[in-house]
Amino acid sequence: MVKGLVDQCLAGYNGCVLAYGQTASGKTFTMEGSKPTPLHPPPSDPESRGIMLRVAADVVDHIQQTTAAEEEEQSEEITQFSVKATYLEIYQETLKDLLCDSDSQADLRIRIDPDSLSGRELYVQGLTEREVITLEDYVRVAHVGTRRRTVGETDMNNVSSRSHAVLTLTIEQITRRRGGTSPDDISSRKRSKLHLVDLAGSERANSTGATGTRLKEGSSINQSLLTLGNVISALSAPPSGRPAHVSYRDSKLTYLLSDSLGGNALTVMIACVSPASSCYDETLGTLRFAERAKKVKLRATVNVDLQSLRISTLEAEIAQLRQQLESSSSSSLVRRSTRDAHTSTRMPVSSACDAACSSAESQPRKSRWARFTTFFTGIAGRGRRAAATIHVAEQ
Ligand SMILES: Nc1ncnc2c1ncn2[C@@H]1O[C@H](COP(=O)(O)OP(=O)(O)OP(=O)(O)O)[C@@H](O)[C@H]1O
Ligand SMILES: [Mg+2]
């Protein structure tokens, strides 16, 4: 299912994979995979990889295959890929850069990017970006992030994540004429984002035995998960007369992921549950949450950079008009046709722009409605060996 999502992201859609569930249900294990041992050091052992490295392997394979196919066919157009990774954690409502080498970090800010394709895409100011090309680059990013992420010991999990972690891949694809270097040679530019999110798990203080800092962390985790629940409830509520208020801004997590939760993205939620009878209430809560999340409707659009298409269309039109002017002034015989050409040159700039823009906009922009996709994984109590997939829900 996640592989399908990666294919969509490589086609230009935004994507998000979200691991949700109570503490010690296996979210981090699902996203990061088993810890490397001398016998099984990732990435050579694909079986021990988590979602993050499986996604990375799919992206690397796709890029290599596309480039090789274009080389073999000597196609007229070639695609240039660039993938950048950022990794952050939200610890007690503070955003921290996991790829930044400096120890003293300020709380990072979430800002709106007016230059983005939608004009209101969110980004985190000052976040370190790493270019990732080979699988080893991704492994390095994942390991640095994992090492720096805040983890603590509780009675439920001795490697309990105390923060939400978001690994984001920004995939840019530029299709241009082979050998061409000018902006005119670019025929399309796509930019998609894929968020891979390992949430901290909900927890009860009397089960985790948390006190002091752990207790404070636990209540901050529960508070942000409560906001996530409210956001999903508002988004999944049946449509009434007035649009329901969605409280994205009540937590950094929901604000940062607002597009993935209720906007332009395809989202897969992995609901991790524990089959232990002592976890009955939390398991039921997770399944109910997943059921609600499945009702959320998202409108995903291929992120084609219309602005650059507009610019190339306008440039081509200006060149054509110049040519018409030159040819009309050089020959009196074509005076009549000059008048025609003149009529078109006298077209107000704004209408020329509008015409070009509407022609750019009329380019097919693939978009699709999608629902949240959820599937469930469970683990066989504490000290267990392997994950069992309980149920795979339809898309
Ligand atoms: N499928 C599995 N096979 C083997 N071990 C597993 C499996 N799933 C989880 N574990 C182990 O169970 C423990 C708890 O898992 P994990 O840390 O992934 O839980 P979590 O849901 O991330 O919890 P938290 O919310 O507290 O961070 C870890 O030691 C992990 O290695
Ligand atoms: Mg965890």
Q: How far is the CA of 200 from the centre of ligand 2 (A)?
A: 5
Q: What letter represents residue 68's amino acid?
A: A
State phi, psi for 186 to the nearest 5 degrees: -85, 125
Using the atom order of ligand 1, give the atom closest to the CA of residue 221.
25
Taking the CA of 33 as reference, the closest ligand is: 1
Nearest CA to ligand 1 atom 23: 24
Q: Please report, for the chain, the start and end positions of each structural domain, with discontinuous segments joined by +.
A: 2-304+365-392, 307-361
Cis bond upstream, residue 43 (ω within 30): yes
- Distance between terminal CA atoms of the chain? 9
Cβ burial 161-186 (10 Å sphere, 16+ → b, else e): bbbbbbbbbbbebbebeeeeeeeeeb
Q: How far is the CA of 166 from the centre of ligand 2 (A)?
A: 12
Q: What is the pLDDT of residue 250?
A: 93
Ligand 1: residue of 159, 214, 376 to mutate (most ligand atoms within 8 A of CB) is 159
Give the CA radius of gyration of the chain. 25
Q: What is the pLDDT of residue 65?
A: 95
pLDDT tier for residue 236 given thresholds of 50, 70 and 90? confident
Taking the CA of 154 as reference, the closest ligand is: 1
Say how far apart CA 78 and CA 176 lie, in whole Å: 6
Residue 105 annotated in ligand binding? no
Closest CA to 50 of 163, 158, 143: 143
pLDDT at 349 over 70: no
Q: How far is the CA of 108 from the centre of ligand 2 (A)?
A: 22
Say how far apart CA 367 and CA 303 lie, in whole Å: 9
Nearest CA to ligand 1 atom 16: 26
Say how far apart CA 303 and CA 172 lie, in whole Å: 10
Torsion over CA: 364, 365, 371, 372 (sign): positive
Residue 26 annotated in ligand binding? yes
Residues with CB under 5 A from ligand 2 (ion): 27-28, 161
Q: How far is the CA of 160 from the centre of ligand 2 (A)?
A: 5
pLDDT tier for residue 394 given thresholds of 50, 70 and 90? very low
Using the atom order of ligand 1, give the atom closest to the CA of residue 151.
27
Determine the average pLDDT of the residues in 369-387.
Answer: 51
Using the atom order of ligand 1, give the atom closest to the CA of residue 388.
1
pLDDT at 27 over 50: yes
Closest CA to 195 of 44, 55, 371: 55
Residue 25 annotated in ligand binding? yes
Instruction: Output the 3-class SS for the chain.
Output: CHHHHHHHHHCCCCEEEEEEEECCCCHHHHHHECCCCCCCCCCCCHHHECHHHHHHHHHHHHHHHHHHHHHHHCCCEEEEEEEEEEEEEEECCEEEECCCCCCCCCCCCEEEECCCCCCCEEEECCCCCEECCCHHHHHHHHHHHHHHCCEECCCCCCCEECCEEEEEEEEEEEEEECCCCCHHHEEEEEEEEEEEEECCCECCHHHHCCCHHHHHHHHHHHHHHHHHHHHHHHHHCCCCCCCCCCCHHHCHHHHHCHHHHHCCCEEEEEEEECCCHHHHHHHHHHHHHHHHHCCCEEEEECCECHHHHHHHHHHHHHHHHHHHHHHHHHCCCCHHHHHHHHHHHCCCHHHHHHHHHHHHHCCCCCEEEEECEEEEEEECCCCCCCEEEEEECCC
Residues 116-136: tens digit of each pLDDT: 777 788 999 999 999 999 999
Q: How far is the CA of 319 from the centre of ligand 2 (A)?
A: 58
Ligand 1: residue of 20, 28, 37, 161 to mutate (most ligand atoms within 8 A of CB) is 28
pLDDT tier for residue 369 given thresholds of 50, 70 and 90? low
Mean pLDDT of the chain, nearest integer: 81
pLDDT at 165 over 90: yes
pLDDT tier for residue 293 given thresholds of 50, 70 and 90? very high
Tokens found for residue 221 = 């985790």
The CATH code that applies to domain 2-304+365-392 is 3.40.850.10
Cβ burial 264-284 (10 Å sphere, 16+ → b, else e): bbbbbbbbbbbebeebeebbe
pLDDT tier for residue 44 given thresholds of 50, 70 and 90? low
Using the atom order of ligand 1, give the atom closest to the CA of residue 154.
26
| 344 CB-near residues (< 8 Å, 6+ apart) | 321, 324
**Count of positions (residues) in the chain:** 395
CB of 18 closer than 8 Å to CB of 199: yes
Q: What is the pLDDT of residue 356?
A: 39
Using the atom order of ligand 1, give the atom closest to the CA of residue 32.
18
Ligand 1: residue of 32, 157, 274 to mutate (most ligand atoms within 8 A of CB) is 157
Q: How far is the CA of 279 from the centre of ligand 2 (A)?
A: 16
Residue 23 annotated in ligand binding? yes
Q: How far is the CA of 383 from the centre of ligand 1 (A)?
A: 9
Residue 24 annotated in ligand binding? yes
- Ligand 1 neighbours by CB, cut-off 6 Å: 21, 23-29, 157, 159-161, 200-201, 272, 379, 384-387
Say how far apart CA 23 and CA 162 lie, in whole Å: 10
| 153 CB-near residues (< 8 Å, 6+ apart) | 159, 160
| 391 CB-near residues (< 8 Å, 6+ apart) | 375, 376
Q: What is the pLDDT of residue 347?
A: 37
Q: What is the pLDDT of residue 222?
A: 92
CB of 142 closer than 8 Å to CB of 32: yes
